[in-house]
Amino acid sequence: MSGIILCRSKYGASAKYAEWISEETGFKVVDTKNADIKEVAKYDTVIIGGGVYASSIGGIAFLKKNYAALKGKQIIVYSCGAAPYDDEILEIVRNKNLKGELADIPCFYFQGMWDLEGMNFTDKAMCKMYVKMLDKKDPSTIKAWEKPFLEAKDKKCDWTDKKYLEPLFAELRKGEKS
Ligand SMILES: Cc1cc2nc3c(=O)[nH]c(=O)nc-3n(C[C@H](O)[C@H](O)[C@H](O)COP(=O)(O)O)c2cc1C
């Protein structure tokens, strides 16, 4: 079974997961922004992953644009955000990014990193506003997956963990059998 990993990572977390997947599978990692569909279409398995930015998965446009050329292959999507895993988070990300004919593609969510100081100007401003908005909320209405944003604030956090990849590896093994 041949495979490739496409990844779009601004701050390193999804790239770290891509490297871990690569170590396990031997698949090469390509930055989605440099991916060529003619090359990608040569593989049996295509894993597309990226950071979550305002619920959108980085690089997901590549899948939307090129789905016709990838139909019939084993396609797996993973996303990586600062919020800890929660079924609600996965549903938000899935509904925003995998609509229509993409809705049945297996999609995973892993917790990533948070570093306000390391963000570019626009991202930092946006994330600061988000934390401020959470800060003003009635604490009883704050969801479990929103709490880490408040706790992290200016602190640099890395929640990445290889163990989160187990369900993705299990999904990959289904492709080996077919
Ligand atoms: C502009 C911006 C928007 C973000 N929006 C979300 C979000 O909607 N949900 C979330 O869980 N994390 C969000 N984050 C946090 C990132 O998903 C997190 O830092 C992740 O590690 C990014 O992936 P990367 O490290 O591969 O770039 C956001 C970060 C930035 C900079």
**For the residues of 84-103, what is the DSSP string, one character each?**
PP-HHHHHHHHHHHS-GGGT
Q: How far is the CA of 81 from the centre of ligand 1 (A)?
A: 5
- pLDDT > 70? residue 178: no
- Share of residues in the chain with pLDDT > 70 (%): 99
CATH class (in words) of the domain with range 3-114+158-177: alpha beta
Measured in Å, residue 20 CA sits from the centre of ligand 1 at 19
Is residue 37 classed as helix, strand or coil in its secondary structure? Answer: helix
Instruction: Quote the pLDDT of residue 70.
Output: 97
Q: Which residues contact 51 (CB under 8 A, 6 or more apart)?
A: 8, 9, 10, 11, 13, 14, 57, 58, 79, 80, 81, 112
DSSP E strand stretches across the chain: 3-8, 28-31, 45-53, 56-57, 74-81, 107-111, 113-114, 157-158
Mean residue pLDDT across the chain? 95
Please determine, for residue 108, whether its predicted confidence score (pLDDT) is greater than 70: yes
Q: What pTM does this model have?
A: 0.96
From the number of C-beta atoms within 10 Å of its C-beta (0-12, 13-18, 19+), residue 15 rates as buried
DSSP at 11: S
Instruction: Identify which of 7, 52, 92 to mutate to test ligand 1's pocket (most ligand atoms within 8 A of the CB).
Output: 52
Residue range 122-169, pLDDT digits in tens: 999 999 999 999 999 999 999 988 988 888 888 999 999 999 999 999
